[in-house]
Amino acid sequence: MNLNRNERTVEKCLFEAKKELKLSGAQEYALDCELFMMKSTSLSKIQLFTKNDYVLSDEEYESFVSMVERRKSGEPCQYITGKAYFYDREFFVNSNVLIPRNDTEILVETVIEYGKKYGFKTMLDIGTGSGCIAISLACEGFEMTAVDISDGALETAKKNAEFNEAKIEFLKSNVFSAVEGRKFDAIVSNPPYIEKDVIPTLMRDVKDFEPMGALDGGEDGLDFYRQIVDEGREHLNENGFIFFEIGYNQGIAVKELFEEKGYSEIKIIKDLAGLDRVVLAKL
């Protein structure tokens, strides 16, 4: 995008940027452009329309164009703006963490429902990433411990916890390695669950930019489920629960993992599209 200085109005810049992003194949290109404009100029959503004749300064224009170019390359909008929204809260995100997705809110809602029903106090979030699950649950009054193997993810999660005023114990841990000897009322996890051979077929935004460690679930996508189901028995209080987010085609397989290890009250919960999204089980 190359506009003369006197052409750099909000209206013109948005028009040209939307056209370029549409041609690049970016999804939600119109919304992305508006978010980039808001970040570059500090204008509100309404002001993009009420002040559409506003002329961007050189600095604002360069910032906007840079964001558009990054999006054209496939980089997710959330990484470009540094923000994502989950369960009505704002989170900082970067390439160290998986971008929070609306589907994961079903996992959070399920844990809250069962937590209130069974009186959970302590919970362990495995592979916390941005911290969106642990923070959402901590804000509902649960005592959260959150672990991740990535230093970058933990740094981001701690920043998000502070921003959202959530008290959480964060630990660097390879699954259960940092919580040996400890038990919890519930374990919750959205682990890596993409099959290794499927990763190259994912959308460019995901496979080229989101952290591979948060995607790769091994040959069949079930590596982390097996480990958590197996070792989780030693880290659950009596009648404790495990809650997983799963891929759309993994419900039966994860249910069988629980059955093999003697868990009870196993349940598969579907998302709004009717696809398997959460599996839970009781020790």
CATH of the domain at 170: 3.40.50.150
The amino acid that residue 242 corresponds to is I
pLDDT at residue 194, rounded to an integer? 83
Whether 89 is in a domain gets the answer no
Mean pLDDT of 83-90: 94
State yes or no: pLDDT of 210 exceeds 90: no
> Residues 100, 49: one domain?
no
pLDDT of residue 137: 97
Burial of 12-35, coded b for 16+ CB within 10 Å and e otherwise, reads bbbebbbebbeeeebeebeebbbb
Does residue 88 form part of some domain?
A: no
The answer to whether residues 209 and 69 belong to one domain is: no
Q: pTM of this prediction? A: 0.90
| pLDDT (0 to 100) of residue 205 | 80
β-pairing, 236-245 vs 184-189, is: parallel
| Number of compact structural domains in the chain | 2
pLDDT, residue 48, reads 94
The verdict on residue 111 lying in a domain is yes
- Residues 61 and 99 reside in one and the same domain: no
CB atoms under 10 Å from CB of 112, counted, come to 17
Judgement on whether residues 139 and 33 belong to the same structural domain of the protein = no
For residue 215, pLDDT over 90 is answered with no
**Banded pLDDT at 54 (limits 50, 70, 90):** very high
CA atoms within 13 Å, Cβ hemisphere of 97: 31
pLDDT at 4: 86
pLDDT, tens digit, 9 for 90 and up, residues 89-130: 999 999 999 999 999 999 999 999 999 999 999 999 999 999
pLDDT of residue 155: 97
Q: Are residues 133 and 17 in the same domain?
A: no
| Between 35 and 221, the higher pLDDT residue | 35
Residue 38 lies in a domain: yes
pLDDT surpasses 90 at 14: yes
* CA atoms in the 13 A half-sphere facing the CB of 121: 3
Give pLDDT, residue 278. Answer: 97
| Residue 99 sits in the same domain as residue 66 | no
Model confidence at 202: pLDDT above 90: no
279 burial level (CB within 10 Å; 0-12, 13-18, 19+): buried
Tell me, yes or no, whether 137 lies in a domain: yes
Write out pLDDT tens, residues 127-162.
999 999 999 999 999 999 999 999 999 999 999 999
Q: Which residues contact 104 (CB under 8 A, 6 or more apart)?
A: 86, 132, 133, 190, 245
Band of the pLDDT at 230, cuts 50, 70, 90? very high
Model confidence at 216: pLDDT above 80 = no
Greater confidence (219 vs 76) lies with: 76
Tell me the two tokens of residue 272.
């709004």
Give the number of other Cβ atoms within 10 Å of residue 4's Cβ: 7
Strand order in the sheet with 264-270: 168-172, 143-148, 122-126, 184-189, 236-245, 276-282, 264-270
Quickly tell me which residue has 């495995």 as its tokens: 126
Look at residue 81 and tell me if it is in a domain: no
Query: pLDDT class for 2, splitting at 50, 70, 90?
Result: confident
Q: Answer yes or no: do 213 and 276 share one domain.
A: yes
Q: What is the CATH number of the domain that holds 23?
A: 1.10.8
Cβ(56)–Cβ(10) below 8 Å: yes
235-261 pLDDT per residue, tens: 999 999 999 999 888 999 999 999 999
DSSP-derived secondary structure letter, 183: -
| Residues 139 and 64 reside in one and the same domain | no
Residue-level pLDDT at 131: 97
Residues 39 and 166 in one domain: no
**For residue 192, what are the domain limits?**
95-282
Q: How long a stretch of residues is the chain?
A: 283
Residues 6+ apart with CB under 8 A from 100: 84, 85, 86, 91, 93, 130, 132
- Amino acid at site 184: F
In the chain, the amino acid numbered 264 is: S
For residue 41, pLDDT over 80 is answered with yes
Mean pLDDT score, 12-26 = 92
Tell me, yes or no, whether 19 and 104 share the same domain.
no
Question: Domain for residue 86, yes or no?
Answer: no
Whether residue 80 lies inside any domain: the answer is no
> Is 57 a residue whose pLDDT tops 90?
yes
The mean pLDDT value for 57-78 works out to 94
- Asked if residue 50 and residue 188 are part of one domain, the reply reads no
51 and 114 fall within a common domain:
no
Three-state secondary structure call for residue 59: helix
Handedness of CA 112, 132, 43, 72 (dihedral sign): negative
For residue 16, give Cα distances in angstroms to 6, 7, 9, 10, 56: 15, 11, 11, 10, 14
Q: How far apart are CA 230 and CA 258, in angstroms?
A: 9
